[in-house]
Amino acid sequence: MAFGSPKIYKTPAELRLMVRPGVVTAGSLTAVRAAIRPGITTRELDAIAEVSIRAAGGVPNFMKEPGYSHTLCVSINDEIVHGVPGDRVVQPGDLVSVDCGADVDGWNGDAAFSVVVPDPTRPELVAARQELADVTEHSLWAGIAELARVPRLNEVGAAIEDAVDARGTFGIVEDYVGHGIGRSMHEDPPVFNFRVQQPGPRVKPGLVVAIEPMITRGGVNSHVLADGWTVATDDGADAAHWEHSVAVHDGGIWVLTAEDGGANGLASFGVVPTPIG
Ligand code: MG
Ligand code: MG
């Protein structure tokens, strides 16, 4: 991951330009989520995402990554992130993590979700995987809520860690972290999903970050598969991944890649998102 941008904080005008790519990214993920079912291939999900983004006037920004030619990453079960769409067929009971990004007019969105495909024959497996997905989503919202009220960015990671630990024994992947986002999908600063020593940059208007906890049922060590992309847990434990791109602006925070700006996800934390004016 390249952290190339020299400038962390966006101007108000630049923040306004980041609204549309967030909305287009969210719309694409909604379309994919509705299509996930046993029997569909990850390539078919990828096609749905690409059609959605292009119909909305965007470009799939994952395709701008050197050597990557897909709209999505689809990571299943023990795969953490960067799963490559292809012939793989989604099965009942699968834990499916979908990551997507759209570029609109040179500005980027980036978001991900995890869902469990229903399997009436394996209720315990489905429940365990759903719990993992829920813990991961909850930790994301805890981190976003923290962003709304702390002076320094790295407190977000502490909040994510605490939210995960409060729910049981899970692993927080450290090999991959969140990031600033703007003209490029991956910019400074890194956004940790765990407690670190340094305070990190100031949280103030203009900061836009993709927060993306990756949580496992077991260990946190990972390896890249033979395809050169897919990252899987070393111990074979399940992994989930949730992500949103979030802007800090003069009026508060706004979750760019949530269709409601994050209102629903933040409600239990007492945080009300404010649209970018
Ligand atoms: Mg992503
Ligand atoms: Mg990201």
Q: What angle do CA 208, 115, 2 make, to 5 degrees?
A: 35
**Distance of CA 255 from the midpoint of ligand 2 (Å):** 14
Q: What angle do CA 98, 104, 108 make, to 5 degrees?
A: 55
Nearest to 161, CA basis, from 135, 180, 125, 126? 135
**Distance of CA 52 from the midpoint of ligand 1 (Å):** 17
Q: Domain ranges in the chain?
A: 12-269
Mean pLDDT, residues 82-94 taken together? 98
Tell me which CATH code domain 12-269 carries: 3.90.230.10
pLDDT at 1 over 50: no
**Distance of CA 81 from the midpoint of ligand 1 (Å):** 9
Say which residues have a Cβ less than 8 Å from residue 219's Cβ, sequence separation at least 6: 171, 233, 234, 235, 237
**Distance of CA 100 from the midpoint of ligand 2 (Å):** 9
- Element (H or E) spanning 214, and its range? strand 214-216
pLDDT at 199 over 90: yes
Mean pLDDT, residues 36-42 taken together? 98
**Distance of CA 249 from the midpoint of ligand 1 (Å):** 22
Mean pLDDT, residues 67-85 taken together? 98
Nearest to 50, CA basis, from 37, 65, 64, 61? 61
Taking only the tens place, the pLDDT of each residue in 238-277 is: 999 999 999 999 999 999 999 999 999 999 999 999 999 8
Mean pLDDT over all residues of the chain?
A: 96
Nearest to 187, CA basis, from 108, 243, 258, 249? 108
Mean pLDDT, residues 12-34 taken together? 98
Q: Residue 16: count other Cβ atoms within 10 Å of its Cβ.
A: 15
pLDDT at 55 over 80: yes
pLDDT at 3 over 60: no
Two tokens, residue 218: 């077991």
